C-alpha cells in the first residue's frame, strides 16, 4: 500500500456531512449572524467599536479616515472582506438605520433612497459619545473577558461592558443557518425607565413593562397601528407590527397652476426605500392599479422628507390614500423575531427576559469592576503603608541604604528589618528625595486615609447587592439625562384594537363644520354660560368667504355619523376628531373622510350606543322623510354607507335619533311648523336604500329649515290634550299669562336676525303627516326667517353659532316663554353682516346625570 493510500480514512458520508454542516451552522450563528443579548452586538460591530476606541477615536477627538479603521479591524481582529467591515461601519453611522447611531460619520454615508456610501478612502468617522459612555466605558477595568484574536497576536473582548440595553435600543437584523433575528429599535429613555422598573420590581411582567416601554421607536418615525403585534412580540418573542408612514391631505398650488388636493408623505416606515417607493407608485399609476393620481414628486431636502402626490380633481383623497396603504410600502409590517445569543446559545426572548439578561450582565460587570478597583486600591495602599513605615523610621532607613553594598542587599535588609514586602521595599528604594519633605509626607498620609475609605466602600458594594443595583440605576439615570430623546414613532389605535377609549376622558365637546369643509372639535367648557343678548365669543377663525354650517355637541366616547347631501353616511369616533383652540380654523374634512370634491356633509349625529329600539329619521331638501333602524348603521365601511336613495335634484339635509313612540317637529323658513307621530302608522320603518315619503306641504318660495324630535312622554301628553279639546285658539303674546301649557319641554325658535323664544309644545297639536302645519313665529321684518326650531328642557343649555363663527352659550330659561304668534326677544347681538347659522344643545355632564 502506498503512502498516499495510507492517509485515506474511510468514513460515512452522511455522518461527515451532518457533523461538518452542524459545525458550519454554529459558526455562523455564534460568530457572525446573531447578536449577543448582553451588549446587542455581532462580532464585526464589536470589533469595529473596540478598534476605534483603541485608536482613540472618541467623540472629542478629530475624525479619521474610515479606511484606517477598516484596516485596523482587518489586521487585528476580523479576517474577512473589507466590504463586510465597511458596510457594518456605515450602518452604525446612519441615523435612518440606527435609533441612536454609535458612530459619527463625516462624508457620504448613503441615504434613505438606498444611495451607496462613498468609498472608505473618502469618508471619515469617530465614535459617538453614547458609544463610549454606554458601551465601552470601564473596559480597562477587567469588566469583561478577553480572548486571543485569530492569530494570537492581540487580545479582543468577548463582549463590551454595555451600560444600556443596546440590543433593544438599536435593534438587530441577521440571517443565520436555520434561524433569523429581527429586533426593532426602541427609545432610550423608555428602555431605561423599563430597566429601572425591573430593578424595583424583579417580578414585573411583560405586560406591566409595556407601561414603560409602549412599543418600538423607529428612527424614521412613522406610526404603529395597534398594540396587538407589539404585545405578541413582547410576550412571546414573535409578532407582526404594522407600520405606517405619516401622510396628510393638503391643498397645494404648483407654479402657474390652480390649487389641487395632494397627499403629502412626511415620514416613512422603518427600512423603506424612498426612491423605490416613488418608483413603485408611478408603476401602479401607469398600470392603472391606482386611480386618481396626476403627479408625483420628491420635494425632500435637508429640513425633512416631503413626497407630494398630486390628485386629479375627481379623485377621493382618502380612497387614494387607502389604496396607497394597501398596495405600497407606505404601510408595511415589521416581523419581530426576538432571537439573540444567551451564553452562546440562540434563544427567543420576551421583553422582560431581554432586560433581565441585561441587568444580570450589569451586576456582573459592576462586581468585576469593583473587585478590580478594590485590588488596585489595596495594592496602592500597600505601597503607601510601606512608604509611611519608611517615613516613620527615616533615619534608620537612610543608614541602612547607605550601608548596603548594592540595591539587592538594601532591599533584602529592608524586608528583614522592617517586616516589609518586596514590593514595598522596591517602592522605598525608588522613592525620590523630595518625597521626604513634611508636605509630601502629609500627602501620602491623606492618600492612605482616602484609600482606606474607598476600600471600605468597595467591600460594602461587593457585600450588598442592593448597592450594585443602586449604582446601575444611577448610571442609567445619568445616561438618560444626557442622551435620551423624545419618541419619534406614534402608536395609534387600529380598527378593533383595545385600549385608547379606556384612556380617554368622556368630556363634553362641541363640533363645528363650515361650509367650505373645515372640521374641528372644542371642549364645551371653553364657553361659560352668558347672559341673553350678549355678543358671544369667537368659536372659529372663519375665512372671508366661509360660514359655519353645522354645529353639534356630544361626548368624546360618542360615534359621530356624518351624512352627506348624496345620501351617504360616514363614521368617526369623536376622540379622533382634531381638538383645536377657539381661534383655529379647523382641519379640512377631506383629510378625515373619503368624500368627493362635489359632496358635502349636511348633517351630523352623535351616537353613544347602537340599540335596536332607536331609529334614524332622515329628511331631504324636498321634504321626503324616512325612518330606518339605527342598528343598520353600526358597521360603516371606511368609504361610507348608503343611508337613503335620493331622487334627481334632491339632497339629504337633516338626520335625527328617535324611537317609535316619539313625534317629529319640522320647521320651515317662513315660520311654519308641523308636528306628527313617528309611529309605524305615520312613518313605517324602511331599509337603508329606500326613498322617503312626503313630510310637509310648503307654500311657494318656502323651504324646510329644521327637524327635531319630541320624546314619547311629551307626545302622549299632547295627544291626550288634543283628544279632550280642539285647540284652535290663536293666542297673542300677552295672553300667555296662566300656567296652562307652560310646562316643559318647549320649542326653541330662533330667527336669522338673532330673535328667539320658547313656545310650549302643547301649542303644536299633533297632525297627520304631509299637512301645511301651524305658524311657529311672527317675524319683526320681512327679510327675517326662521333659522332653527329645537326641542329644549329646563335644565338645558344651548349654543348658538353665527355664520361668522361667533358662539354664545346660554341657559334656555333666559329666553322668554311666549306663544306661537309672538316675535320673540333678542337672543344674540349680531353685527350687520352676520346671521344665526345653527344652534346645538349642550348635553348634561356625567356628574349631572349621576345626580339626577
Summarised one tens digit per residue, pLDDT across range 400-437 is 888 888 888 888 988 888 888 888 888 888 888 777 77
pLDDT at 231: 94
Burial track 376-389 (b if 16+ CB lie within 10 A, e otherwise): ebeeebebbbbbeb
| Domain termination site, one of 314, 329, 344 | 329
- 188: closest CA among 225, 219, 159, 148? 219
For the chain, report the end-to-end CA distance as a whole number of angstroms.
109
Domain count, the chain: 2
| Domain termination site, one of 266, 296, 329 | 329
Residue 827 corresponds to which cell in the numbers above? 337672543
- 779: closest CA among 758, 755, 748, 802? 755
pLDDT at 731: 41
- 776: closest CA among 680, 670, 682, 701? 670
pLDDT at 743: 74
| Domain termination site, one of 277, 300, 329 | 329
Range of the domain at 300: 246-329
**Which ranges in 421-464 belong to alpha helices (H)?**
422-430, 438-463
pLDDT at 31: 63
Is the sign of the CA dihedral 139, 140, 145, 151 positive or negative? positive
Q: Rounded to whole angstroms, how far apart are CA atoms 438 and 524?
A: 81
- In Å, what is the CA distance from 176 to each residue of 29, 30, 662? 5, 9, 70
Catalytic residue list: 122
pLDDT at 713: 81
Which residues share a beta bridge with 246?
Answer: 267
Q: Rounded to whole angstroms, how far apart are CA atoms 231 and 5?
A: 62
Strands (E), 695-765: 704-710, 746-751, 755-760
Judge contact between 124 and 55, C-beta under 8 A. Answer: no
| 196 domain-assigned | no
Strands (E), 537-594: 537-538, 548-555, 559-564, 568-573, 587-588
| 157 domain-assigned | no
pLDDT at 531: 61
**Which ranges in 213-350 belong to alpha helices (H)?**
228-236, 274-286, 317-327
CATH of residue 803's domain is: 2.120.10.90
Quick one: angle between helices 394-403 and 351-392, nearest 10?
80
| 237 domain-assigned | no
| 663 domain-assigned | yes
| 613 domain-assigned | yes
Q: CB under 8 Å to 803, separation ≥6 — which residues? A: 542, 547, 548, 834, 835, 836, 837
| 776 domain-assigned | yes
- 264: closest CA among 282, 251, 279? 251
- Give me the residues of the chain with pLDDT under 70, please: 1-6, 21-22, 24-31, 254-257, 494-505, 526-548, 723-742, 843-852
CATH of residue 296's domain is: 3.30.1360.40
| 711 domain-assigned | yes
| 696 domain-assigned | yes
Residue 513 corresponds to which cell in the numbers above? 363644520
pLDDT at 433: 76
Amino acid at each position: 500500500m502506498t503512502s498516499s493510500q495510507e492517509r485515506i480514512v474511510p468514513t460515512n458520508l452522511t455522518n461527515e456531512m451532518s457533523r461538518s454542516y452542524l459545525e458550519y451552522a454554529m459558526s455562523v450563528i455564534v460568530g457572525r449572524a446573531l447578536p449577543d443579548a448582553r451588549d446587542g452586538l455581532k462580532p464585526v460591530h464589536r470589533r469595529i467599536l473596540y478598534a476605534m476606541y483603541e485608536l482613540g477615536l472618541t467623540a472629542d477627538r478629530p475624525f479619521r479616515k474610515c479606511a484606517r479603521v477598516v484596516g485596523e479591524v482587518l489586521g487585528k481582529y476580523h479576517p474577512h472582506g473589507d466590504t463586510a467591515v465597511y458596510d457594518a461601519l456605515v450602518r452604525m453611522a446612519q441615523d435612518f438605520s440606527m435609533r441612536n447611531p454609535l458612530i459619527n460619520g463625516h462624508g457620504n454615508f448613503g441615504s434613505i433612497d438606498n444611495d451607496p456610501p462613498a468609498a472608505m478612502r473618502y469618508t471619515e468617522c469617530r465614535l459617538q459619545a453614547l458609544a463610549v459612555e454606554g458601551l465601552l466605558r470601564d473596559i480597562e477595568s477587567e469588566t469583561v473577558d478577553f480572548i486571543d484574536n485569530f492569530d494570537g497576536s492581540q487580545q479582543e473582548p468577548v463582549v463590551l461592558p454595555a451600560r444600556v440595553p443596546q440590543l433593544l435600543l438599536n435593534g438587530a437584523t441577521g440571517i443565520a443557518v436555520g434561524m433569523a433575528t429581527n429586533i426593532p429599535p426602541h427609545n432610550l429613555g423608555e428602555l431605561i425607565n423599563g430597566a429601572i422598573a425591573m430593578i424595583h420590581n424583579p417580578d414585573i411582567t411583560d405586560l406591566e413593562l409595556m407601561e414603560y416601554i409602549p412599543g418600538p421607536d423607529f428612527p424614521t418615525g412613522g406610526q404603529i397601528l395597534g398594540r396587538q403585534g407589539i404585545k405578541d412580540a413582547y410576550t412571546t418573542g414573535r409578532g407582526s407590527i404594522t407600520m405606517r408612514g405619516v401622510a396628510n391631505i393638503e391643498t397645494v398650488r404648483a407654479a402657474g397652476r390652480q390649487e389641487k388636493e395632494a397627499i403629502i408623505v412626511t415620514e416613512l416606515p422603518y427600512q423603506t426605500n424612498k426612491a423605490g417607493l416613488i418608483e413603485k407608485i408611478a408603476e401602479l399609476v401607469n398600470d392603472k392599479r391606482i386611480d386618481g393620481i396626476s403627479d408625483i414628486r420628491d420635494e425632500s431636502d435637508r429640513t425633512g422628507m416631503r413626497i407630494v402626490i398630486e390628485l386629479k380633481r375627481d379623485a377621493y383623497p382618502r380612497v387614494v390614500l387607502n389604496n396607497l396603504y394597501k398596495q405600497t410600502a407606505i404601510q408595511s409590517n415589521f416581523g419581530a423575531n426576538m432571537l439573540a445569543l444567551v451564553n452562546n446559545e440562540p434563544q427567543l426572548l420576551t421583553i422582560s427576559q431581554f432586560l433581565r439578561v441585561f441587568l444580570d450582565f450589569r451586576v456582573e460587570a459592576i462586581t468585576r469592576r469593583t473587585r478590580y478597583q478594590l485590588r488596585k486600591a489595596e495594592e496602592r495602599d500597600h505601597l503607601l503603608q510601606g512608604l509611611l513605615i519608611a517615613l516613620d523610621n527615616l533615619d534608620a532607613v537612610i543608614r541602612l541604604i547607605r550601608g548596603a553594598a548594592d540595591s539587592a542587599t538594601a532591599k533584602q535588609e529592608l524586608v528583614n528589618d522592617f517586616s516589609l514586602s518586596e514590593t514595598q521595599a522596591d517602592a522605598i528604594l525608588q522613592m525620590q528625595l523630595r518625597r521626604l519633605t513634611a508636605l509630601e509626607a502629609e500627602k501620602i498620609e491623606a492618600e492612605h486615609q482616602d484609600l482606606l475609605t474607598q476600600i471600605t466602600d468597595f467591600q460594602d458594594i461587593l457585600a450588598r447587592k442592593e448597592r450594585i443595583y443602586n449604582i446601575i440605576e444611577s448610571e442609567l439615570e445619568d445616561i438618560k439625562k444626557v442622551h435620551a430623546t423624545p419618541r419619534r414613532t406614534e402608536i395609534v389605535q387600529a380598527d378593533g384594537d383595545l385600549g385608547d377609549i379606556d384612556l380617554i376622558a368622556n368630556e363634553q365637546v362641541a363640533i363645528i363644520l363650515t361650509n367650505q369643509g373645515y372640521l374641528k372639535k372644542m371642549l364645551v367648557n371653553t364657553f361659560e354660560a352668558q347672559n341673553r343678548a350678549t355678543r358671544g365669543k369667537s368659536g372659529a377663525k372663519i375665512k372671508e368667504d366661509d360660514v359655519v354650517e353645522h354645529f353639534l355637541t356630544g361626548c368624546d366616547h360618542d360615534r359621530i355619523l356624518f351624512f352627506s347631501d348624496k345620501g351617504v353616511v360616514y363614521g368617526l369616533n369623536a376622540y379622533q376628531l382634531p381638538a383645536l383652540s377657539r381661534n383655529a380654523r379647523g382641519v379640512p374634512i377631506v383629510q378625515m373622510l373619503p368624500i368627493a370634491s362635489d359632496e358635502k356633509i349636511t348633517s351630523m349625529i352623535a351616537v353613544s350606543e347602537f340599540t335596536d329600539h332607536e331609529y334614524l329619521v332622515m329628511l331631504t331638501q324636498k321634504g321626503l322623510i324616512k325612518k330606518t333602524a339605527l342598528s343598520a348603521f353600526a358597521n360603516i365601511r371606511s368609504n361610507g354607507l348608503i343611508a337613503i336613495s335620493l331622487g334627481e335634484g334632491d339632497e339629504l339635509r337633516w338626520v335625527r335619533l328617535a324611537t317609535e313612540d316619539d313625534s317629529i317637529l319640522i320647521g320651515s323658513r317662513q315660520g311654519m311648523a308641523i308636528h306628527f307621530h313617528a309611529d309605524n302608522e305615520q312613518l313605517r320603518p324602511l331599509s337603508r336604500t329606500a326613498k322617503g315619503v312626503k313630510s310637509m306641504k310648503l307654500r311657494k318660495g318656502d323651504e324646510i329649515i329644521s327637524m327635531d324630535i319630541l320624546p314619547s312622554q311629551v307626545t302622549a301628553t299632547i295627544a291626550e290634550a288634543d283628544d279632550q279639546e280642539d285647540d284652535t285658539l290663536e293666542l297673542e303674546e300677552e295672553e300667555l299669562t296662566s300656567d296652562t301649557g307652560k310646562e316643559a319641554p318647549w320649542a326653541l325658535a330662533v330667527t336669522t336676525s338673532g330673535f328667539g323664544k320658547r313656545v310650549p309644545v302643547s301649542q303644536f297639536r299633533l297632525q297627520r303627516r304631509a299637512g301645511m302645519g301651524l305658524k311657529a313665529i311672527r317675524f319683526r321684518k320681512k327679510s327675517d326667517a326662521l333659522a332653527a326650531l329645537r326641542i329644549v328642557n329646563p335644565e338645558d343649555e344651548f349654543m348658538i353659532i353665527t355664520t361668522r363663527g361667533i358662539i354664545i352659550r346660554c341657559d334656555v330659561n333666559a329666553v322668554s316663554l311666549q306663544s306661537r304668534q309672538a316675535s320673540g326677544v333678542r337672543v344674540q347681538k349680531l353685527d350687520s353682516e352676520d346671521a344665526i347659522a345653527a344652534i346645538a344643545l349642550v348635553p348634561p355632564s356625567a356628574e349631572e346625570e349621576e345626580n339626577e
